[in-house]
Chains A and B, each alone.
Chain A
Amino acid sequence: MSVLLNKDSRVIFQGFTGQHATFHAEEAMKIGTKVVGGVTPGKGGTQHLGLPVFDTVEEAVQATGADVSGIFAPPPFAADAIMEAIDAGIKTIVVIADGIPVQDMVRVERYRLGTNSIIIGPNTPGIITPGVGKVGIMPSHIYSPGRIGIVSRSGTLNYEAVAQMSDLGLGQSSSIGIGGDPVNGTDFATVLKAFEDDPDTDAVLMIGEIGGPQEVEAARWAKKNMRKPLIGYVAGLSAPPGRRMGHAGAIISSESDTATAKIDMMEALGMFVVRNPADIGATVLRAIKS
């Protein structure tokens, strides 16, 4: 899928020399991701993993032509790092950090207005295009090239879905985690549109969870605009109201936030819905055969 991560993407990592970024940059390079360098303020001019380190994102972009950045800065510094990437003209910004203050993301989203940057996350496992590369923390060995697009709020539930699909011989065109926070950069509908326009994708699996309106908004968008089959699951059928279920954004604040309400709406809007999380793979298979 060409809009977010393709064979021409040139990737940098912010917070490059840190332990997590180092590990995940190496993992990304192992599967062929075109990593061109990284940024760690104060370490500019040095080399890391055989690649140049820069003090600022602007410098990195000028020297390497980077257009994708994986942000591994810790939560208190992540908002600044994201805005630096936007300022430098990075097109796809993947934010791994879990725990960014929500008002920081409100400001980041305001700053992004009018630019061409797309923010994936925060609190996301990232993006993977099997056979091309990844920017994120997902275990790449479980994914395989194929023609199903996946978009999810949760990381591990994404892996679960991939495993069920693999058992049935289904691979992925791309898998994108939009993250588990209440305010995120890219919503479901935006990613659905990218998959709808992608010639390498035949059907899309959307994995949501309790809290917020975006699953239903995406289903409404899809009913009007999408021709490819769309399969949906919403986690948290058994979650009690008013409790934050691990993800900052996974909380039932009103009736429309519940898994049942969302699934019912998605079904009414013509989607293929999965009620039992063990049936995700089978439902995808049924959808593409229909």
Chain B
Amino acid sequence: MNIHEYQTKDLLKHYGVPVPPGRVVHTDAQAATVAEEIGGSRWVVKAQIHSGGRGKAGGVRVGNSIDEVRVIADEIIGTNLVTHQTGAEGRLVRRVLVEQASNIVREYYVGLIIDRATRRITLVASAEGGVEIEVVAKQTPERIIREIIDPAVGLLDFQCRKVAYKVGLKGALLPQAVKVMKGLYRCMRDNDAIMAEINPLAIVDNGQLLALDAKMTFDDNALYRRPTISELRDFDEEDSKEVEATGHGLNYIALDGDVGCIVNGAGLAMATMDAITLHGGRPANFLDVGGGATPEKVANAFRIVLQDPAVKIILINIFAGINRCDWIATGIIQAMRDQNIQMPIIVRLAGTNVEEGRTILSTSKFPFIIASNLNDAAAKAVTEVNNIVQKVVPLKKEHS
């Protein structure tokens, strides 16, 4: 789960990480009031959406007067901000963070990740602040400093000093850097985050370190024990179909193709998408119905897949282990009947109770296209969708 920048900064403040004075607001009037309250002569107005690249997209701007802050806030709030992460449709900005602007002397990167190879939380730092760490890792990997943290003792002061010294945070900055790194670590550990980063961590003109931007991602599997983090969830930032799917115990991710997919198991769901792609088709979604799928759950899967208007056909690929093909087939029939589905449905069933499942499908009145295996299923799906696309005659030319 992701949260907004202002929420991350609120959290970090509790753990002793210095952040600029500021507050989140929903209107331009509030923005002006906040700017006045926090004082100073320059302010930065930052769009609060779950995306990187907000600055380049025009979502982070500096105001040199209270009036300018008001105007900028008015311009940003309510716009659809398009960044390299939001896709072409962009993301509606509902609130902005107003902060005192800082005079930056130098920028650094400090982050914590869970490193899979060592199975430990790892502190990562770089003197290349303000740049995405992935870019630094690719272009100048030698400039990235790493320190592995033993969970039995946590992040130690000397480890912070080693890292700080290597990125060039020396002298009076050293104890400040230790405080920032330890605060970030405690915040990650105590709240079950899986990623935490301050980028940039800046030296400002009064010689202090300040977290100018920060991001944290939390472990969905640990939210049950982190109620205060769960409350920070912003459903407006998530795909409504994905949220609904989660409520039904389904795992759904919207993609941009036209072949709807209903599969059991994450691995098989990915492989099904891959097979469709290799046959020249484009999957409309990833959907895992999970284990022990009831007919109702299968019917809900249809409902969610069909909310995507681009879907032209549906491919069902089930290899039942703890699932039962007869339940799946019953769910398919239920969906066809209750949701009045007219598009071609390709079904591949295998595993537990496969014969019962096939009988349920073949004795129904619906014209299912039955596939014998994964390859057959993908081939038939792509043939069907191509037939539909070729048949569609454009009613009117779009004006450009």
Complex partner residue of B266 from A101, A104, A246, CB under 8 angstroms: A246
| Chain A contact residue count (CB 8 A cutoff) | 61
Contact with B along A172-199 (1 / 0, CB 8 A): 0000000010110000000000000000
Contact A238 B265 (CB under 8 A): no
Q: List 30 A-B contacts (CB under 8 A).
A: A76-B224, A103-B189, A106-B119, A110-B151, A138-B321, A139-B322, A154-B265, A154-B266, A155-B267, A157-B271, A159-B350, A163-B350, A180-B267, A207-B267, A214-B116, A237-B273, A237-B274, A238-B255, A238-B273, A238-B277, A239-B270, A240-B253, A245-B253, A246-B251, A246-B266, A246-B269, A246-B288, A248-B221, A254-B134, A254-B137
Contact A214 B117 (CB under 8 A): yes
Cα–Cα, bound, A137→B323 (Å): 11
Contact B267 A154 (CB under 8 A): yes
Contact B350 A210 (CB under 8 A): no
Residue pairs across A and B with CB atoms within 8 Å: the count is 173
Stretch at the interface among A44-52, A61-69, A274-282: A274-282
Chain A residue nearest to B194 (CB atoms) is: A102
Chain A residue nearest to B253 (CB atoms) is: A243
Cα–Cα, bound, A47→B29 (Å): 70
Contact A153 B267 (CB under 8 A): yes
| A154-B266, A156-B268 given; A213·B374 CB < 8 A | no
| A99-B221, A245-B266, A247-B267 given; A259·B274 CB < 8 A | yes
- B residues in contact with A249, CB < 8 Å: 116
- B residues in contact with A275, CB < 8 Å: 278
Contact A106 B114 (CB under 8 A): yes
Cα–Cα, bound, A154→B275 (Å): 16
Complex partner residue of A242 from B85, B225, B351, B375, CB under 8 angstroms: B85
Contact A276 B265 (CB under 8 A): no
Question: 4 closest Cβ contacts across the A-B interface?
Answer: A154-B267, A246-B266, A156-B265, A157-B267
Contact with B along A131-172 (1 / 0, CB 8 A): 000000111001000000000111111111001100000000
- A residues in contact with B263, CB < 8 Å: 156
Cα–Cα, bound, A102→B121 (Å): 10
- A residues in contact with B152, CB < 8 Å: 110
Complex partner residue of A152 from B221, B267, B277, B374, CB under 8 angstroms: B267
Contact B265 A155 (CB under 8 A): yes
- A residues in contact with B374, CB < 8 Å: 160, 164, 277-278
Cα–Cα, bound, A253→B114 (Å): 12
| A137-B321, A138-B321, A159-B321 given; A101·B222 CB < 8 A | yes
A interface, by DSSP: helix, strand, loop or mixed? loop
Cα–Cα, bound, A107→B272 (Å): 35
Contact A217 B150 (CB under 8 A): no
- B residues in contact with A277, CB < 8 Å: 271-272, 274-275, 374
| A101-B219, A106-B151, A154-B268 given; A235·B114 CB < 8 A | no
Contact B274 A235 (CB under 8 A): yes
Is A89 interfacial (CB 8 A cutoff)?
no
Is A219 interfacial (CB 8 A cutoff)?
no
| A137-B321, A249-B116, A250-B270 given; A102·B221 CB < 8 A | yes
Instruction: Tell me the residues in window 192-231 of chain A with beta carbons closer than 8 Å to chain B beta carbons.
Output: 207, 209-210, 212-214, 217
Chain A residue nearest to B274 (CB atoms) is: A237
Cα–Cα, bound, A255→B134 (Å): 9
A164-B374, A245-B270, A248-B220 provided; 18 other pairs, C-beta below 8 A? A101-B221, A102-B219, A103-B151, A103-B192, A104-B222, A142-B351, A157-B267, A157-B271, A159-B319, A160-B268, A163-B350, A235-B270, A236-B270, A236-B274, A238-B255, A238-B277, A243-B253, A276-B375
Cα–Cα, bound, A125→B321 (Å): 9
- B residues in contact with A247, CB < 8 Å: 266-267
Is A53 interfacial (CB 8 A cutoff)?
no
Is A100 interfacial (CB 8 A cutoff)?
yes
Instruction: Tell me the residues in window 63-101 of chain A with beta carbons closer than 8 Å to chain B beta carbons.
Output: 75-76, 99-101
Is A58 interfacial (CB 8 A cutoff)?
no
